[in-house]
Amino acid sequence: MPFRCFTRSEEMISTLKTSIRTMKNLILVALVLVTGALSAQTARLQVIHNSPEPTVDVYANGGLLLNDFVFRTATPFIDVAAGVPITLDVAPATSTSAAEAIYSVTVTFNAGETYVAIASGVVGDPLTPFNIWVQSGIREAALAAGTVDFIGIHGSPDAPTVDIIARDVAILLDDVSYGAISGYLTVPAGAYVLDVTPGADNYNIVASFAADLSGLGGGSAVVFASGFLSSTPGFGLFAALADGTVVAFPVEAPVFTNLQVIHNSPEPTVDIYVNNTLLLDDFNFRTATPFVPVQALVPVKIDVAPATSTSVSESIYTITGRFRNPSNDYVAIATGVVGDPTTPFNIILQGNIRQSNSVGQVQLVASHGAPDAPTVDVVADGALTLFDNLEYNTISRYISVPPASYVIDIRTEDGLSTVVSYDADLSGLAGGNAVVFASGFLGSSPAFGLYAALPDGTVIAFPVAAPRLSGEVSFEGLFPTVADEQITLTLTGTTTDQVGVTVFNASGQMVIAEVANVDNGRITHNMNVSNLAPGQYFVTVYTQEGPRTERFVIAQ
């Protein structure tokens, strides 16, 4: 029994203290109203606690105005005396009088005006000291039904100058620095995602928040950034409504998709930046990344800079956009030649890219990235057209083939002439996907080739294959073996097919690919080699018995 009596006594004392505090606040409000009534001059005031400090007491002209005022809470709008000085004192929550104040400010409110007073900053911090910001011209309601009027206040001590962007709508607050209070903005009462970014970089999203204003039509709010980016309490975005309710906008978690990047521009090694941050350092020609996560639904900026770059400011090419469908994977393929007006550097961005398949096939999508090659057909084993009329700088639809080995012909647009053929061993890729890309130049270096980028970033170079011929063909030889402008090949045979002819340099790169016609007899085929640099070369003719190779030299 004694234990119960003691507990009940504590409950009674606690209840009594709460009642006393409540009575004190009621008396204070009554005094404020009486003062205003007697002076016949009043203003309206809302107080917001946005200093990341402990709970405080607030005194007005020595009388307790707010007892145990908690961080990130607000009062409703109340009447206060106008035309007379009012000293606001802030003291620890344990205070018994205004004499214990740690901060004081004296303000005089104008009759008929509406104010907000925001406690901000950090006690004892010389850079962002505790302060009370007072702002007039505050609205207790929106000017029009169905809309929400709000001002923005930057009250995060360690945050830089920021923009607040209503995603896919507009920049709501532009270049707002700590301590700044914006003008009023009016938006339809709806649901928004608010992205907070540095003022000079709208691609670097610091944080995102879900702001559902759909139930606030006709209302107003004071939206305030609060807390710290680098410590606790953490950064947040809040809205104080006219009735004193403070709404914490929940964090909008970023949504990601997956992106593979393929370097198919016959240029030197480059650096790739995404949203001003280095993503790929020293990215080599004919290499690819694995699929990497990138944020979806927000603006994305991709920059390409020389491999020696130290920042995105050295970018030589920029593309902007957004990955709008998080359920899709994407590929970005660098193509073209920097500074070439006909086939300039470009980045092809394609969605709905697949990393695997569940049907046990090999699924392929193709990109034509050879700047001097015409529109082509891609044919497997002489019969199955995989990609029809594939144009430069485009990406095809997906096709599926059984996992097996194929001979892939690159044919002219009409499908009649085979320019070059490749051995493509896909037997080990069951259930896998790849991006096949034509690369390099037909008439110069780096030479034309056919490659496949796998989802893990591996790039496969398909080797050149001998063509299938309907009859026999023999390569008799070439003349001259030391040339400067032209070489002549001599062929005989019974085939009516075109015969593939390629030229490789001493490094094994294919620099020329052409076709020769043998029509039931002897033929000579002339090749223009005037664009080749001096050095040793090898010409290969693909017969039914395999390739036949001869050496020639380009004179100095």
- Residue positions counted in the chain: 556
Dist. CA 95–CA 2, nearest whole Å: 33
Please indicate whether residue 2 or residue 531 has the higher confidence score (pLDDT): 531
Dist. CA 164–CA 150, nearest whole Å: 13
CA dihedral 461, 466, 467, 469 (to 10 degrees): -170
Please indicate whether residue 54 or residue 361 has the higher confidence score (pLDDT): 361
Examine the pLDDT at 157 and tell me if it is beyond 70: yes
- Among 2.40.50.100, 2.60.40.2550, 3.30.420.40, 3.40.50.300, name the CATH number for the domain at 473-554: 2.60.40.2550
Residue type, 316: I
Region 321-346: mean pLDDT is: 90
Dist. CA 477–CA 487, nearest whole Å: 10
For 184-290, list the strands marked E by DSSP: 185-188, 191-198, 207-212, 220-226, 236-241, 246-248, 256-263, 270-274, 277-283
Dist. CA 99–CA 62, nearest whole Å: 8
Structure tokens at 406: 């194929």
For the beta sheet containing 486-493, the strands, ordered from the edge strand earlier in sequence to the opposite edge, are 473-479, 486-493, 521-528
Examine the pLDDT at 340 and tell me if it is beyond 90: no
pLDDT at 34: 44
Q: Which residue has the tokens 């660098």?
A: 334
Q: With contact defined as beta carbons under 8 Å apart, do 483 and 555 qualify?
A: yes
pLDDT at 469: 60
pLDDT at 367: 95
Examine the pLDDT at 488 and tell me if it is beyond 90: yes
Structure tokens at 276: 């001003």
pLDDT-wise least confident of 107-111, 139-143, 383-387, 500-504:
500-504
CA distances for 475 relative to 23, 119, 500, 522, angstroms: 110, 91, 12, 10
- pLDDT winner (highest mean) among 33-37, 308-312, 336-340: 308-312
Structure tokens at 54: 């402990």
Average pLDDT, the chain: 86
Q: 3-class DSSP state for residue 4?
A: helix
Examine the pLDDT at 468 and tell me if it is beyond 70: no
pLDDT at 29: 44
pLDDT in tens, 171-220: 888 898 999 999 999 999 999 999 999 988 888 898 999 999 999 999 99
Q: Model-level pTM?
A: 0.71
pLDDT in tens, 282-327: 999 999 999 999 999 998 999 999 999 999 999 999 999 889 889 8
Residue ranges per structural domain of the chain:
1-138, 141-253, 256-461, 473-554
